[in-house]
Amino acid sequence: TKEFKEIYKERAAQERKNGEMKNFHGLDRAEGYGLRSVSSQTKLTAIAVNLKRIAKIISST
């Protein structure tokens, strides 16, 4: 249906970003033990990916 396609389009965009973090930035395997360690790793990876995107936008203008 049209509603499903709209929802899936948003989900597909998020999955691409998650896949990038998994395949290129080490989120496929946790570096430490416990929820706190994994949470920290995830947040730092997200910050790194966002900084990379910001740098790309700034350099292209």
Residue 61 has pLDDT above 80, yes or no: no
- 16: how many CB neighbours lie within 10 A of its CB? 9
Tens of pLDDT, residues 11-35? 888 888 899 999 999 899 988 999 9
Q: Which pLDDT value is given to residue 16?
A: 87
Tens of pLDDT, residues 30-58? 889 999 999 999 999 999 999 999 999 99
Alpha-helical runs (H) found in the chain: 2-24, 35-60
**3-state SS assignment for residue 34:** coil
Q: Tell me how far apart the alpha carbons of residues 45 and 61 are, in angstroms, rounded to a whole number.
A: 25
Q: What is the pTM of this model?
A: 0.75
Domain ranges for the chain, please list them: 2-60
